[in-house]
Structure 1
């Protein structure tokens, strides 16, 4: 396969200090699999340096999975003491000055098999015994390994990881509006600049090849693209501190016994690109004893799944219409075995890629799959005539281009858009089965085209449509159950699929307003709620008007909704009416646990002090400036002990088991 490097890729290579001619670089990257195993360590190192430079600059020549599981592994086999393998892989920002990091930032040792994880745990056990640590205290914490841009936030400046010792000052990212995830506070240490997968796919995939392009733009000195600025304003691009990541924690024996289960849960726990999981010992004495190499901490490891790569022939490319009207190209492939599964189809990025890369019947593509990751078409080896649809496969309306994406403009009468909206409704409710894509498609073919119409059907109606008697009775019972089984009101609101109004946003709104009142909320009313910027508030407001008629019909059927707001006030909970912010290190429970408990007691939880905050609960290591600032705003400042005493006095002492 011949690789042709672009000027931007060559600029990234040169800026990284890799002295190589373009023709030589292209020849190295075009090495086939047989040639790769015969390559010298020097050539492999050059390939890795080129790949690292282009990846960090947002113009990658290969996927991260391919980089790790093929090229790094081969260099480790040939030359395990190679300097490239023992140093932190640099993350340069070429137009920025190098400064010393406030705290050393290292890479993470990688494992690709359960056997390697077992060996790492054995090292932890051995070290624990050497310092007489009770093995019942040998606990391991697992978090998702974000695939973003590593950085460090000390509260004043934001730094790139650089070489682990020195990085670049990229505080300008915060000046562009970048926020901490969930409106958290600055100064949270190491983390990654990331963008939500769902947001990228929905809004940016037609304009940028990958999320790395977006991340590179955020930290660049150059003028930011308006679409990326909008993503920042919508809080889709954030700095995600590692300390805030969802996690599993338990004893090392439980970790080994439930490794597959934990892996699956943590890998899919966030709406951001993830390329593995991080496992680390939690005992501070053990961590200090084990220390680190020049490149990584010995008490920490990243588990990544080897990438399987295959050359596959495309049989055809078919379009699929989403509930937003975007047409997604799906390549139907010659069945191929990858990572233990037979793959016969893969999504192409967008129709702009189909056109530019020549993806069509007879094309030969390179398919990559890493364990749990959905298979991706990595590159096109042999082009074919691109297959571009002229009409929507669902309603046959003439499609239109918007950037690199094709859209069906028929938003009101396109079956696929309506069908997917109904499937989304029942999936989000989450309290019944039976109304999947095939059932909904069959209903549509018979003329049933709305959620309300489905709820009006009886057993005889379902039988007339073509369902069996038993199936029809089950479907009616499922519909009844969906109305009688208690569900949260925010889940019901989110089920209608309003853009930007997912489950989290719905919950925030309904903590402040009754569900029956949401259609009377103005854009300003939404902005008043923590977490809503003007752009997202405007989009939500417009979306609510579009679904108001259908919503009221369905709502009128009498669902058993648990109100997020009234459940607090009606029970006269001790923290009702309070907006509380927790800051610092807590002793009686992790901060997320204390926030959750306060929420159950009626409080609204904020991530930073605003004019709406009523109480600031302070743990250890909180700056006097932050406390003084809160006091100036009229916020009541309480120590953790004072807060717990207040809760105890209300006979609602929280537990942190």
Structure 2
């Protein structure tokens, strides 16, 4: 507090709502008072910190690698505010799933202006009984994601009607059907423009074909102008170069040529990137790599049965069925033939496997390693037959932990999972310095 007083005397801005406490009761009273003043502060807070007021004592107590021993934080419950829903918008995703979003009067929550929140699905709407015109309480989950908590029904306007998503797609007008045993209502038109836009965004994304320069606005324009009707049409855009430049669909000449060059270069990608980009339910980057390591090519996978796919590590029945259904679908076959005619790579020429020392082992990487990036560490593990997952579970065999490892290290320790540093990983694959 003496330091605060000195800084304030020098004209430096400091917090003004701190209080020196001498008992636990005084500490709690101060926390309560600060919490009650949250809305009037000139800055946003989500908690209060109790700290020792003696700098020498702080030095004696020291700190762990993560936290000081002389301070502890109290986190306030999520801030909630009331607002009025003005409309409910429906959007269609890559798989055809229709998602309702509440649009309400703007409110300030946790330092940002919020005016939209997902309503997830029809069941969520029905359970809360959300209607257009309702007053609702909104909060931020984890201080980040806006969510509708409840309806203030005593403020409901007269004549407010229950909201129903309906049985037609809001984008293309095709039938929309609720899938059995799920909460999802999906558009049944595979050529729906909204599905196509989301599908292409996934296809050109960093974990799939990684085609830089094709953002949401450019893809939307390409679809509107009729340049793209399937993901395979991306590889025919070079034939329309003059039209693209003349209409400025993806920019001027220099930018258009840059995008077309990125599309051309992506033809040489390993087939697991193509498989990821196809958008088969349940098949992400990791599953796609496992499938290509097992089958070696898109063509071999396309001919595989469910039983053969189930032989691949970590492959379940739902994913196997989805793969078979995709490759048996005539529309999918037509897209794949177009890819083939355009020269897109279907075969895994180099598995990248040095050996299989880590075969059957699952790794998670966290923190900052001394010399390897996470990408390089993952590539090293995969080159020796190991698998890299994004989160720690009972199935994890090793956690590779670097500096500033956080909750993943704590969870791995609690589960009794083996912890490796970079040197330990190198030793495991036979690349130690000794």
TM beyond 0.5: yes
SS at match of 1:432: coil
Match of residue 369 from structure 1: 140
Q: Is the 8 A contact 2:358 2:381 kept in 1?
A: no
- The offset of 1:530, in angstroms, is 1.8
Superposed, 1:251-266 pairs within 5 Å as: none
* Alpha-carbon spacing, 1:490–1:469, altered in 2? closer, same or farther (3 Å): closer
Task: Tell me if structure 2 keeps the 8 A contact 1:364–1:380.
Answer: yes
CA distance 1:412–1:470, change in 2 (3 Å): closer
Distance 1:603 1:409, change over 3 A: closer
Does the 8 Å CA contact 1:332/1:344 hold for their aligned counterparts?
yes
> What SS does the corresponding residue of 2:252 show, helix, strand or coil?
helix
**CA shift for structure 1 position 314:** 0.8
Alignment-derived partner of residue 400 in structure 1: 177
Distance of aligned partners of 1:449 and 1:304 in 2 relative to their CA distance in 1, 3 Å threshold:
farther
1:420 match: 198
Change in 2 beyond 3 A, CA 1:336/1:646? closer
Counterpart contact for 1:394–1:414, Cα < 8 Å: yes
* Equivalent in the alignment of 1:579: 359
Give 1:548 shift.
4.0
**What are the superposed Cα offsets for residues 32-68 of structure 1, whole Å, 9 maximum, x if unpaired?**
xxxxxxxxxxxxxxxxxxxxxxxxxxxxxxxxxxxxx
* Range with bigger deviation, 322-331 or 393-402: 393-402
Match of 2:84 among 309, 313, 318: 313
**TM-score computed with the length of structure 2 as normaliser:** 0.63
Please report the TM-score for the alignment, with normalisation by the length of structure 1: 0.44
2:304 counterpart (514, 521, 539): 521
Match status 1:445 vs 2:378: no
Q: What does residue 462 of structure 1 align with?
A: 244
How big is the shift at 1:385?
Answer: 1.4
* Contact map agreement 1:368 1:378 (CA 8 A) in 2: yes
Alignment of 1:135-174 (within 5 A): 139-140=65-66
Which residue of structure 2 lines up, in the alignment, with residue 77 of structure 1? 32
1:480 maps to 2:261: yes
* Higher relative contact order structure (alpha carbons within 8 Å, sequence separation ≥ 6): 1
Aligned residue for 1:532, secondary structure, equals coil
**1:2-151 matches, cutoff 5 A:** 77=32, 112-113=46-47, 116=49, 119=51, 130=60, 139-140=65-66
Q: Write out per-residue CA displacement over residues 164-192 of structure 1, whole angstroms, 9 at most, x where no aligned residue.
A: xxxxxxxxxxxxxxxxxxxxxxxxxxxxx
State the alpha-carbon separation in 2 of the partners of residues 303 and 432 from structure 1. Answer: 45
| Separation (CA, whole Å) in 2 of partners of 1:603 and 1:523 | 24
Is 1:360 matched with 2:140? no
Instruction: Evaluate the alpha carbon distance shift between residue 496 and residue 362 of structure 1 in structure 2; reply closer, same or farther with a 3 A threshold.
Output: same
In structure 1, the residue corresponding to 2:295 is in which secondary structure? coil
**1:493 & 1:433 partners in 2: Cα distance?**
18
For 2:433 and 2:424, the matched residues in 1 are separated by 16
SS at 2:342 equivalent: coil
The equivalent residue for 2:103 is: 332
Partner of 2:291: 509
Contact 1:397 1:410 in 2 (8 A): yes
Aligned pairs, how many? 342
How far 1:124 moved relative to its partner? 13
2:236 is the alignment partner of 1:435: no
Unaligned runs of 5+ in 1: 1-72, 79-110, 141-279, 282-289, 291-297, 584-588, 608-615, 618-640
Q: 1:387 aligns with which of 134, 144, 163?
A: 163
The residue that corresponds to 1:147 in the other structure is none
Distance 1:564 1:407, change over 3 A: farther
TM-aligned CA deviation for residue 354 of structure 1: 2.7
Contact kept in structure 2, 1:312 and 1:336, CA below 8 Å: yes
Deviation of 1:595 after TM superposition, in Å, equals: 8.4
Task: Give the direction of change, closer, same or farther, for the CA distance of 1:125–1:389 in structure 2 (3 Å limit).
Answer: farther
Distance 1:125 1:432 in 2: 56
1:347 is displaced (CA, Å) by 1.1
2:314 is aligned to 531
